[in-house]
Amino acid sequence: MSSAKLALVNKAIQRQKLLRSHLEFTKYFFEAKEGQPLIVGPYHEVLCKTLDRVFSGEIKRLIINVPPRYGKTEIAVKNFVARGFAINPGSRFIHSSYSDELALDNSSDIRELIQLEEYQDFWPISHKVDTKAKGLWRTSEGGGLKASAAGKAITGFGAGRMVQEGEEWEFNGALIIDDPLKPDDALSDATRKAVNNRWATTFRSRLADDKNTPVIVIMQRLHINDFVGHLLDESGEKWHVLKLPLLLGEETEPHPNAIMVEHGLPDGPLWDYKHDLESIETVKKALGPVFDGQYQQEPIVLGGNLFKKETLVYYKDVPKLQWRGIYVDTAQKTAERNDFSVFQEWGKGVDGKAYLLDMARGKFEAPELEATGWTFWNKCKARNPEHYGHLRKMAIEDKVSGTGLIQALKRKSVPVIGIPREKDKFTRALDVIPSFSSGLVAVPEDAPWLRDYISELLAFPDGSFDDQVDPTMDAVTEMIIKKQAAPRITAL
């Protein structure tokens, strides 16, 4: 074989290698662009293999949570789009970030990557800038990229292409949202809500094929109700989630709408070349609670710092209990779905601790509220009393919607009592804080409602809601502070 033919064969082999592997593509063009090899950590391989699954069509909705300055934009935005055009020059992409400047800079970097001699040698793709639309450029094969700030309108361009019935799926573009919210705006309810609303009002309508066009959301977690939290809670879809905290091995239970991408990485630093255990501890001390969200991908709502995360005690198996009670906080309005109502089951352990066992929470109208209370009572009543103790009562604040619930459940022979709350919330919280600090209040290690519960507790009294805190304070006051078992209440 002549040297010319051998060169063509080697080029074809290299071309296929770059098309098959996002890691190989990223390494090759990083060196071509920067003049030095990419230093690859184990998490790079996980991230790139996950993006390979998007290109193959296996994943259509992907959330990537990774600490700042860990190469997410380089790998999952710039090289992803460039490789997408190599796979299909007719691909159509929409890229959005929190500012026009950032989105347009990324768009410019992608164009420069495609213009590299090394890229053109494999894929001679030409493009032109649409002078009528800022941040829009198109390929000669009918593809293109529209870059815009997350808060701006995106019109006249769609991500991906429609897949016709019976047509085999092939990659033809994606919607890529990278850091839609600035860290400085994370505590602004109005800004978060505006960004979150963009999913339904703008982003989703820009998908050429809602079912088949991939969506990738890349961000560090900034708030319990940030864009990722909103997608998992409110989008009505299941999302693949690649969660890469700075310190592996401390992850909590996943959201019920999250399909976790298994990373297979060992416990410890995500990439000790960049952050070893000592430097992680330094970052943690410097950032305080912000570290939980931005670096660990476990956001908490920052609040009055009354209840502290480090004072929470977790249990795996419920110990033997003396007795149990259900404590209830009802919405302030009975006819509107404005506020949450909460039912919490608590148990007094033989060890003297108060154990949160179960919870039901929702925005209920009067008939639903009564039905939920009745169902929750019977669910708790079914526990084995030899281990869990006798379920003595349901305690409800006797005002507004609570008054109607008390009357309704009494008619069903549920032993209900009204709770007199004579102190304000802040004072009541100060009363129970010592019990938390002494390790006398325990919550389960894994429960579907635990994430929201802890976030609200730590945010008190400055959080958006306190409906879960109120019955907690009632239970702790009775089970711990009074230092004696509550009197047995018989059915009325």
Q: Are 403 and 316 in contact (CB under 8 A)?
A: no
pLDDT at 162 over 80: yes
What's the gap between Cα 242 and its chain centre?
A: 10
What's the confidence (pLDDT) of residue 61? Answer: 98
| Helical residues (DSSP H) of 22-99, grouped into ranges | 22-34, 42-55, 72-73, 79-87
What's the confidence (pLDDT) of residue 298? Answer: 85
Mean pLDDT confidence for 9-33: 94
Which residues form the domain of 372?
309-481
What's the confidence (pLDDT) of residue 223? Answer: 86
pLDDT at 194 over 50: yes
Retrieve residue 313's tokens.
């005690």
What's the confidence (pLDDT) of residue 131? Answer: 59
Is 304 contained in some domain? no
Query: Whole-angstrom Cα distance, residue 376 to residue 368?
Result: 12
What's the confidence (pLDDT) of residue 302? Answer: 59
Does residue 399 sit in the same domain as residue 431? yes
Does residue 234 sit in the same domain as residue 328? no
Angle, helices 79-87/3-20, rounded to nearest 10 degrees: 120
Does residue 288 sit in the same domain as residue 343? no
Does residue 247 sit in the same domain as residue 357? no
Does residue 321 sit in the same domain as residue 279? no
pLDDT at 490 over 70: no
The answer to whether the Cα torsion of 15, 145, 64, 237 is positive or negative is negative
What's the confidence (pLDDT) of residue 184? Answer: 85
240, 268, 294 - which closes a domain: 294
Q: Which among 260, 246, 179, 216 has a CA at the least distance from the CA of 41? A: 246
Q: 166 falls in which pLDDT band (50, 70, 90)?
A: confident
What's the confidence (pLDDT) of residue 334? Answer: 44
For 52-75, write each residue's pLDDT tens digit.
999 999 999 999 999 999 999 999
Is 487 contained in some domain? no
The answer to whether the Cα torsion of 248, 252, 253, 258 is positive or negative is negative
For 89-113, write each residue's pLDDT tens digit.
999 999 999 998 999 999 999 999 9
CB atoms within 10 A of CB 145: 27
What's the confidence (pLDDT) of residue 443? Answer: 96
Identify the DSSP state of 167.
P
For 322-370, write each residue's pLDDT tens digit.
999 999 999 865 444 457 899 999 999 999 999 999 999 998 888 899 9
Q: Which among 40, 87, 43, 85 has a CA at the least distance from the CA of 64? A: 43
Q: Which among 176, 164, 171, 180 has a CA at the least distance from the CA of 222? A: 180
pLDDT at 216 over 90: yes
| Angle, CA 86 vertex, CA 84 and CA 88 arms, to 5° | 65
Q: Are 434 and 311 in contact (CB under 8 A)?
A: no
The answer to whether the Cα torsion of 201, 129, 179, 30 is positive or negative is positive
Does residue 339 sit in the same domain as residue 406? yes
Q: Are 177 and 188 in contact (CB under 8 A)?
A: no
Beta-carbon contacts of residue 425 (< 8 Å; ≥ 6 apart): 460, 461, 466, 469, 470, 473
Q: Which among 150, 410, 71, 222 has a CA at the least distance from the CA of 80? A: 71
Average pLDDT, the chain: 89
Mean pLDDT confidence for 160-167: 84
Task: Give the number of residues written for the chain.
Answer: 492
Is 492 contained in some domain? no
Is 94 contained in some domain? yes
Does residue 115 sit in the same domain as residue 50? yes
Q: 135 falls in which pLDDT band (50, 70, 90)?
A: confident
For 364-422, write each residue's pLDDT tens digit.
888 899 999 999 999 999 999 999 999 999 999 877 778 889 999 999 999 999 887 77
What's the gap between Cα 189 and its chain centre?
A: 17
What's the confidence (pLDDT) of residue 10? Answer: 85
CB atoms within 10 A of CB 104: 17
Query: Whole-angstrom Cα distance, residue 316 to residue 446?
Result: 8
Region of 160 please: left (phi>0), alpha (psi -120 to 50) or beta: left
What's the confidence (pLDDT) of residue 323? Answer: 96
CB atoms within 10 A of CB 350: 11
pLDDT more than 90, % of the chain: 65
Q: 132 falls in which pLDDT band (50, 70, 90)?
A: low
DSSP letters spanning 140-164: TTS-EEEEEETTS---S--BS-PPP
Number of domains in the chain: 2
CB atoms within 10 A of CB 277: 11
- 76-85, 199-208, 454-463 — which is least confidently predicted? 454-463
- 43-52, 233-242, 283-292 — which is least confidently predicted? 283-292
Where residue 151 sits, what CATH number does that domain have? 3.40.50
What's the confidence (pLDDT) of residue 304? Answer: 52
Q: Which among 17, 35, 34, 33 has a CA at the least distance from the CA of 25? A: 17
Where residue 468 sits, what CATH number does that domain have? 3.30.420.240
The answer to whether the Cα torsion of 295, 296, 300, 303 is positive or negative is negative
DSSP letters spanning 283-300: HHHHHTTHHHHHTTS---
Is 286 contained in some domain? yes
For 427-471, write each residue's pLDDT tens digit.
888 889 999 989 999 999 989 898 889 888 887 877 667 899 999
241, 266, 294 - which closes a domain: 294
Does residue 323 sit in the same domain as residue 194? no
What's the confidence (pLDDT) of residue 260? Answer: 95
Does residue 72 sit in the same domain as residue 196? yes
pLDDT at 485 over 70: no
pLDDT at 50 over 90: yes
Does residue 104 sit in the same domain as residue 161? yes
Does residue 281 sit in the same domain as residue 363? no
Is 302 contained in some domain? no
pLDDT at 9 over 80: no
Does residue 259 sit in the same domain as residue 350? no
Mean pLDDT confidence for 313-329: 95
Mean pLDDT confidence for 206-210: 93
Q: Strand, helix or coil at 361? A: strand
Retrieve residue 377's tokens.
């009572």
Query: Whole-angstrom Cα distance, residue 117 to residue 12?
Result: 16
